[in-house]
């Protein structure tokens, strides 16, 4: 009797061990994003569509892989994001979390990903802290960060004569990081910062902040916010005649969806930094067409959504190279860093030891209504920032993993 | 208020005590046996328990003293923030962190209570709402709360130096034990002479005054006790969720607790627990519907007020003439 019980236990244990075999071909992806809030156009449903496209394009289903995608709305609240990702890890056995725009949520989810040993590929959040003070062996940060934005738009505007700045900043991790990184660039290029005004996330009335900016007499008003906060600031700045008074707006983070929402009449001339623009080459155009056909609102992909596609693509490529899913986040991410990244959207790149994906970035300028040939023909290329200049040099990264 | 009166009209003598004890034992048993079955997600039950405690604390005021506080989330949030700060920044063990959360909420409860109990009815509700909104903006700007980012990665530590709270099962049973003890405390309070005076104040305040009771003093004590228990709920929630955020101090939390108490049954002992479980389960399992959850909550609120004013538990108690 005793033997049969232990035999039973042994078989059960073997059975369980079998479920986590090295050639296990079940993968579950979780897309955690803002579905209805101020960043929903930059990520949202489009991020889920992008993830689905990457799974389909990988062709792994035909090779016996079973890849599921779940998605959820974190409402831009860190506590909601943490609860969802913890439940994904514990109950739904999700292997990897994607997108996670909104830096405050992104930083909070990073802790869960590390605790639960998940793959965490962030393409939506901007705070450069993700690959610096908050870096982890489970994280890969795609698409962009505040360092890249500062070195794109911030540098270009300062060099073009905008040597005194006033910031209108979203008062949370992202805005603070963007203001910090841009201040460093402005100062390094001989400019100075006269002050800042911080507004709560998802505001609707920017009048008091803009009036402070106007009173500061700074040449440049740096908008260290994003999504609907940025479009509202730009609209209200134009209504209050801030721009007519000679001050220049620098939208430090502007998504293609924001430009489209603003309209070219209001947005023309604004410069913005992206790592992906849908109309860059044949590859991106083909992707954008397929993407927009699947979207209810026919929108073109933003860089966040493109980043979801590229990160899922690289994740699945790595799993295919490993021959199965080990359900071990840190192990998969370590392997991911060994394989160079390559896709039609971001071109060739690599992942640095701190988790930062390095690829070129581009400075675009919003077209005038006369230059535009179509609804989504919104920007023209001004400059290309090579990969080695776009992101924090490894030597300057404060990531604890780099100090061995 | 009529519903509350009906449910409580049964004298709190021996027969009522018996059913209440049986129901309490049943509730404790079900909750204790729940996680090993694997039917529900333990973290969900723990969150529901925290909200149940919060609703019970709120019910202590509205159900037994007749004071509608419309800013109760501020105590939940204060307990949470202080507990999170104590655990994360001051590296306090969880029991001390919980205690500091409760102490802070109690202190704030005394302050807000002192101002609010000077007025009655709608004015009382508005004062509590105004003060809680004021505190919300304090927490939004105060450096130690980290505003929109919240306090993240709160360590769970070892409870009393023995129980490792970072493991789900020890955490679950600790939360359950704290909840049950707090629940018993509330039960004991409302069935004590002190509780009888509270009910007397609810029924007829001038008469309680004419009998020689210092009504304001009793109201303030009840308010502080309710704030302390709400703070305990908030602190416990922080230990479970490992983060404290603005969501907990937002006024919608104050509204939600009203809804929980109404759905479960105002002025019943078990009502707020049932209500909290119903509402948190809805938010958990209907999360896929997005913003529609709030619409559904609104419909439930209307249905509750129109069709069954005694709430779930209150209706059951009235039908079978039980004291619950």
Overall domain count for chain A: 2
Residue A108 lies in a domain: yes
Q: Which residues of B touch A111 (CB under 8 A)?
A: 152-153, 242
Q: Work out the mean pLDDT of chain A and round it to a whole number.
A: 91
Cβ–Cβ gap A79/B148 under 8 Å: no
Looking at per-residue pLDDT, the higher value among A404 and B286 belongs to: B286
Residue A403 lies in a domain: no
**What pLDDT, on the 0 to 100 scale, is given for residue A283?**
93
pLDDT-derived band of residue A245, with 50, 70 and 90 as boundaries?
confident
In this structure, the answer to whether residues A107 and A167 fall within a common structural domain is no
**What pLDDT, on the 0 to 100 scale, is given for residue B15?**
57
pLDDT of A358-379, one tens digit each?
A: 999 999 999 999 999 999 999 9
pLDDT-derived band of residue A15, with 50, 70 and 90 as boundaries?
very low
Residue A216 lies in a domain: yes
Cβ–Cβ gap B149/A83 under 8 Å: no
SS3 B150: coil
Residues 6+ apart with CB under 8 A from A346: A142, A143, A275, A276, A306, A307, A310, A357, A359
B153 to chain A, any CB pair closer than 8 A? The answer is yes
In this structure, the answer to whether residues A386 and A369 fall within a common structural domain is yes
Domain of residue A159, residue span: 147-274+361-390
In this structure, the answer to whether residues A180 and A217 fall within a common structural domain is yes
Q: Which residues of B touch A35 (CB under 8 A)?
A: 290
- Chain A nearest C-alpha distance from B11 (Å): 43
Cβ–Cβ gap A200/B290 under 8 Å: no
**What pLDDT, on the 0 to 100 scale, is given for residue A404?**
62
pLDDT of A130-164, one tens digit each?
A: 999 999 999 999 999 999 999 999 999 999 999 99
Beta bridge partners of A364: A272, A381
Average confidence (pLDDT) over B102-108: 97
**What pLDDT, on the 0 to 100 scale, is given for residue A12?**
47
CB A106 within 8 A of CB A136: no
CATH of the domain at A351: 3.40.50.2300
In this structure, the answer to whether residues A167 and A270 fall within a common structural domain is yes
CB A144 within 8 A of CB A361: yes
Altogether, the residues listed in chain B come to a count of 324
CA–CA dist A289, A301 (Å, integer):
9
Q: Does B1 score more than 50 pLDDT?
A: no
Residue A3 lies in a domain: no
Q: Does B7 score more than 70 pLDDT?
A: no
A80 to chain B, any CB pair closer than 8 A? The answer is yes
In this structure, the answer to whether residues A197 and A217 fall within a common structural domain is yes
Q: Work out the mean pLDDT of chain B and round it to a whole number.
A: 90
Residue A365 lies in a domain: yes
In this structure, the answer to whether residues A201 and A285 fall within a common structural domain is no
Cβ–Cβ gap A171/B147 under 8 Å: yes
In this structure, the answer to whether residues A122 and A159 fall within a common structural domain is no
SS3 B140: helix
B149 to chain A, any CB pair closer than 8 A? The answer is yes
Long-range pairs of A14-18 with CB within 8 A, sequence gap ≥ 24: none
A107 to chain B, any CB pair closer than 8 A? The answer is yes
CA–CA dist A381, A188 (Å, integer):
25
Residue A1 lies in a domain: no
Percent residues over pLDDT 70 in chain B? 95
B245 to chain A, any CB pair closer than 8 A? The answer is yes
pLDDT of A383-399, one tens digit each?
A: 999 998 899 999 999 99
**What pLDDT, on the 0 to 100 scale, is given for residue B9?**
45
Q: Which residues of B touch A72 (CB under 8 A)?
A: 287-288
- Interface mutation vs chain A, best among B151, B152, B283, B293, most A CBs within 10 Å: B152
A77 to chain B, any CB pair closer than 8 A? The answer is yes
pLDDT of B146-175, one tens digit each?
A: 988 899 889 998 999 889 998 889 999 999
Percent residues over pLDDT 90 in chain B? 71
Residue A76 lies in a domain: yes
Q: Does B13 score more than 80 pLDDT?
A: no
Percent residues over pLDDT 70 in chain A? 94
CA–CA dist B211, B134 (Å, integer):
37
In this structure, the answer to whether residues A132 and A160 fall within a common structural domain is no
Residue A17 lies in a domain: no
- Calculate the alpha carbon distances from A263 to A149, A157, A270, A377, A379 in Å: 22, 22, 12, 11, 12
CATH code reported for the domain at B2-319: 1.10.3470
In this structure, the answer to whether residues A301 and A366 fall within a common structural domain is no
- H or E stretch covering A38: none
Strands, DSSP E only, in A3-126?
Answer: 26-33, 66-73, 96-99, 119-122
Cβ–Cβ gap A79/B140 under 8 Å: no
**What pLDDT, on the 0 to 100 scale, is given for residue B293?**
84
- Calculate the alpha carbon distances from A206 to A176, A228, A245 in Å: 17, 12, 17
In this structure, the answer to whether residues A72 and A152 fall within a common structural domain is no
Neighbours of A31 (CB within 10 A): 27
In this structure, the answer to whether residues A58 and A176 fall within a common structural domain is no
């Amino acid at each position: 009797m005793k033997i049969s019980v232990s035999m039973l236990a042994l078989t059960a244990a073997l059975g369980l061990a079998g479920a986590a075999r090295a050639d296990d071909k079940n993968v579950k992806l979780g897309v955690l994003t803002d579905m209805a809030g101020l960043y929903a156009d930059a990520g949202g449903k489009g991020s889920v569509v992008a993830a689905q496209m990457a799974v389909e394009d990988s062709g792994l289903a035909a090779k016996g892989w079973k890849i599921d995608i779940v998605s959820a709305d974190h409402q831009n609240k860190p506590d909601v994001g943490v609860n969802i990702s913890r439940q994904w890890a514990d109950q739904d056995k999700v292997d990897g979390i994607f997108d996670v725009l909104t830096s405050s949520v992104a930083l909070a989810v990073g802790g869960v990903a590390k605790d639960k040993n998940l793959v965490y590929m962030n393409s939506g959040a901007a705070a450069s802290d993700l690959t610096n003070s908050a870096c982890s062996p489970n994280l890969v940060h795609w698409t962009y960060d505040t360092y890249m934005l500062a070195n794109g738009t911030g540098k270009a505007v300062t060099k073009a004569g905008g040597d005194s700045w006033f910031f209108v900043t979203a008062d949370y991790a992202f805005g603070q990081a963007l203001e910090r990184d841009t201040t460093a660039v402005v100062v390094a290029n001989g400019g100075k910062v006269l002050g800042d005004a911080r507004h709560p996330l998802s505001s609707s009335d920017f009048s008091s902040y803009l009036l402070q900016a106007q009173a500061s007499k700074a040449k440049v008003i740096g908008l260290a916010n994003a999504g609907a906060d940025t479009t509202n600031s730009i609209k209200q700045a134009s209504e209050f005649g801030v721009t007519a008074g000679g001050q220049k707006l620098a939208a430090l983070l502007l998504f293609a969806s924001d430009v489209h929402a603003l309209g070219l009449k209001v947005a023309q001339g604004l410069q913005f930094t992206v790592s992906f623009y849908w109309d860059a080459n044949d590859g991106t155009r083909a992707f954008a067409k397929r993407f927009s056909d699947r979207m209810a609102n026919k929108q073109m992909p933003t860089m966040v959504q493109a980043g979801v596609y590229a990160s899922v693509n690289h994740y699945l490529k790595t799993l295919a190279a490993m021959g199965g899913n080990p359900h071990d986040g840190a192990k998969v991410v370590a392997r991911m860093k060994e394989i160079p990244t390559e896709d039609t959207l971001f071109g060739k790149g690599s992942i640095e030891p701190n988790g930062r994906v390095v690829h070129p970035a581009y400075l675009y300028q919003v077209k005038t209504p006369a230059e535009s040939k179509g609804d989504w023909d919104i920007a023209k290329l001004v400059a290309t920032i090579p990969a080695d200049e776009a992101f924090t040099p490894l030597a300057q990264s404060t990531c604890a993993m780099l100090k061995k | 208020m009529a519903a509350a009166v009906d449910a409580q009209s049964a004298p709190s003598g021996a027969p009522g005590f018996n059913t209440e004890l049986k129901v309490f034992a049943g509730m404790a048993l079900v909750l204790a046996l729940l996680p090993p079955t694997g039917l529900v997600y333990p973290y969900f039950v723990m969150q529901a328990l925290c909200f149940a405690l919060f609703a019970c604390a709120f019910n202590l005021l509205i159900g037994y003293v007749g004071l509608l506080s419309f800013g109760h989330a501020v105590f939940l949030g204060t307990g949470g923030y202080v507990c999170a700060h104590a655990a994360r920044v001051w590296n306090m063990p969880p029991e001390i962190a919980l205690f500091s959360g409760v102490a802070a909420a109690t202190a704030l409860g005394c302050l807000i209570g002192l101002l609010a109990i000077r007025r009655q009815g709608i004015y009382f509700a508005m004062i509590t709402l105004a003060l809680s909104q004021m505190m919300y903006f304090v927490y939004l700007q105060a450096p130690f709360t980290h505003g929109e980012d919240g306090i993240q990665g709160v360590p769970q530590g070892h409870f009393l130096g023995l129980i490792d709270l970072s493991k789900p099962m020890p955490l679950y049973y600790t939360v359950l034990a704290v909840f049950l003890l707090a629940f018993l405390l509330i039960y004991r309070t409302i069935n004590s002479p002190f509780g009888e005076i509270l009910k007397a104040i609810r029924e007829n305040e001038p008469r309680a005054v004419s009998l020689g009771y210092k009504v304001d003093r009793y109201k303030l004590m009840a308010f502080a006790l309710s704030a302390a228990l709400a703070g305990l709920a908030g602190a416990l929630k922080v230990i479970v969720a490992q983060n404290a955020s603005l969501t907990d101090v937002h006024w919608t939390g104050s509204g939600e607790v009203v809804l929980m108490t109404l759905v479960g049954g105002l002025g019943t002992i078990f009502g707020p627990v049932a209500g909290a479980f119903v509402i948190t389960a809805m938010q958990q399992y209907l999360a896929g519907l997005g913003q529609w959850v709030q619409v559904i909550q609104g419909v439930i609120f209307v249905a509750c007020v129109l069709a069954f004013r005694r709430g779930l538990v209150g209706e059951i108690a009235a039908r079978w003439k039980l004291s619950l």
